Amino acid sequence: MKNIYKKIACLLALGLTFASCENYLDDVPKGFKSPTTLADYEAFLRDEYTNHRVDITGASQLLNDQYVTIATLSSNRLYNALYLWDENADRIALKVSDETTYYSGYAGISTFNLIIENALNTTKATEAEKRVVWAEAKILRAMNYFNLVNFYADTYLASTASTKLSVPLITSANINAPSKQVTIQEMYDFILNDVKEALPYLLKVSQTPLHPNLGAGYAFYSRVYLQMNNYTEALKYADLALAENNKLYDWIGYYNTNKAIIDVPNSYTTTTSPMSYNYVENYTYRHGTFNNLTTENSIPIERAQRFEAGDARFISRWKIYTVGAETYYRRTLSGAFNFGGITTVEVYLIKAECLARAGQISEALAVLNAVRKTRILPSYYQDIATTDKTTALNAIYRTKRNELINTLIPFADARRLNAEGIYKVSFTKTVNGTAYTLKSDSHLWTMPFPQGAIKNPGNGTITQNVAK
């Protein structure tokens, strides 16, 4: 058990170690409790600010889903490269410090490994209770690996997944655990196996919003299969997830309740985020990108223009704002935001895409419109109706990008679609008279590992997955 205390004392992710920590503690410190009961290990799952932090700052900046101020662009060359799509920038050289996306991801994995290794041998619990906590940790570990592989490695393609490298795979909480940078295929196989092993033991109603339930397991399975372009399996598990929870939040009702505050001109008084722990769309809750964890990103004007007219969800969350020479849409919600977990609206839109891919256009649009009816104000709403597959899919993608803004999913979807080559995603904008373009085949769609990880890879090696 001494390795637990080494890990806590050194505050290390990815099982990395510094020389000063190598022999820091060999015994349980006085005044500390050695975890032995299931409750001791289950408590780690409730550490939301450490183990449920899903930072995707780089992806949000690349997509321009986050407004970056002029001052920040001037002072932070990496943010500048991402936000202004500078293909000549050496992002590897610019990542000179540790990065939350990488280290918080592996810090969570280390915790989940600890639970997976020990939960089944704990005391003061039945075998069934032990299996539940073990299974929850498996789902959360798989979710972290999915986030990391879809940030730092190329997207999944069956033709190349067995030859391209992904991210380091670590399956033990031991501080000296081996680290192997496996292929993309090996990583996806590992993720799928974690979910497969966990599903039989997940509860239909979990202990807290931080604990993934059965619906979360099915929903995440659907997300992974979609990223692998396996639409049959993605649809299967989307339906199973929706059988567990199919609720959609009434954003029109939220707007109407708060419109007296929302509609006041030049007022930026915030209203309370409904996307919190008890959001009816939640399968499992995890925090998102923003450092504060109680506010969300403001967004550029160009990004705001991609929302549908009359979108109550948009109107309730952002308002145009000018300060000095800068104009953008300022955030107007405060509270908690489920940007790192998984929700029903994502699963509805996975289902819609899978149906459209299978040529079931009317069925796909029925699912899409069911979502839109809870978002688009009645005075603006019209059913999307078409028999054309491309038109239907583009409508689904537009809604999904807007619904899941500030999450990893629009970034992961764009990479998937660009690799497929049919429904490519690219962006253009003009800033101060200069035109900028993010091409669908740009190397910017894969993020480089931070220098700290390359120089100190723990008990293994790491190869960069992108040239710059």
Helix axes 127-152, 409-420, angle to 10 degrees: 60
Reported as half-sphere exposure (CB side, CA atoms, 13 A), residue 219 has a value of 29
Instruction: Look at the block and give the residue holding tokens 């280390």.
Output: 110
Main-chain phi, psi angles of 113, to 5 degrees? -60, -40
Q: Does 295 have pLDDT greater than 50? A: yes
Closest CA to 198 of 264, 258, 284, 275: 284
CA distances from 46 to 8, 39, 41, 203 (A): 16, 11, 10, 16
Closest CA to 314 of 264, 369, 252: 252
pLDDT band at 223 (very low <50, low <70, confident <90, very high): very high
Instruction: Look at the block and give the residue holding tokens 């943010």.
Output: 79
Instruction: Give the span between the Cα atoms of 200 and 217, in whole angstroms.
Output: 10
DSSP state of 123: B
pTM exceeding 0.85: yes
Amino acid 146: pLDDT: 98
Q: Topology of domain 2-248+341-455, per CATH?
A: 1.25.40
Amino acid 34: pLDDT: 79
Q: What does the domain layout of the chain look like in residue ranges?
A: 2-248+341-455
List, for residues 3-37, the tens digit of each pLDDT value. Answer: 333 343 343 333 333 333 333 334 555 566 679 99
Closest CA to 353 of 229, 194, 221: 229
Tell me what the mean pLDDT of segment 277-290 comes to: 90
List, for residues 305-346, the tens digit of each pLDDT value. Answer: 999 999 999 999 999 999 999 999 999 999 999 999 999 999
Burial class (CB in 10 A: 0-12, 13-18, 19+), 466: middle
Amino acid 22: pLDDT: 36
CB 156, CB 416: distance < 8 Å: yes
DSSP state of 120: G
Amino acid 10: pLDDT: 41
3-state secondary structure of 460: coil
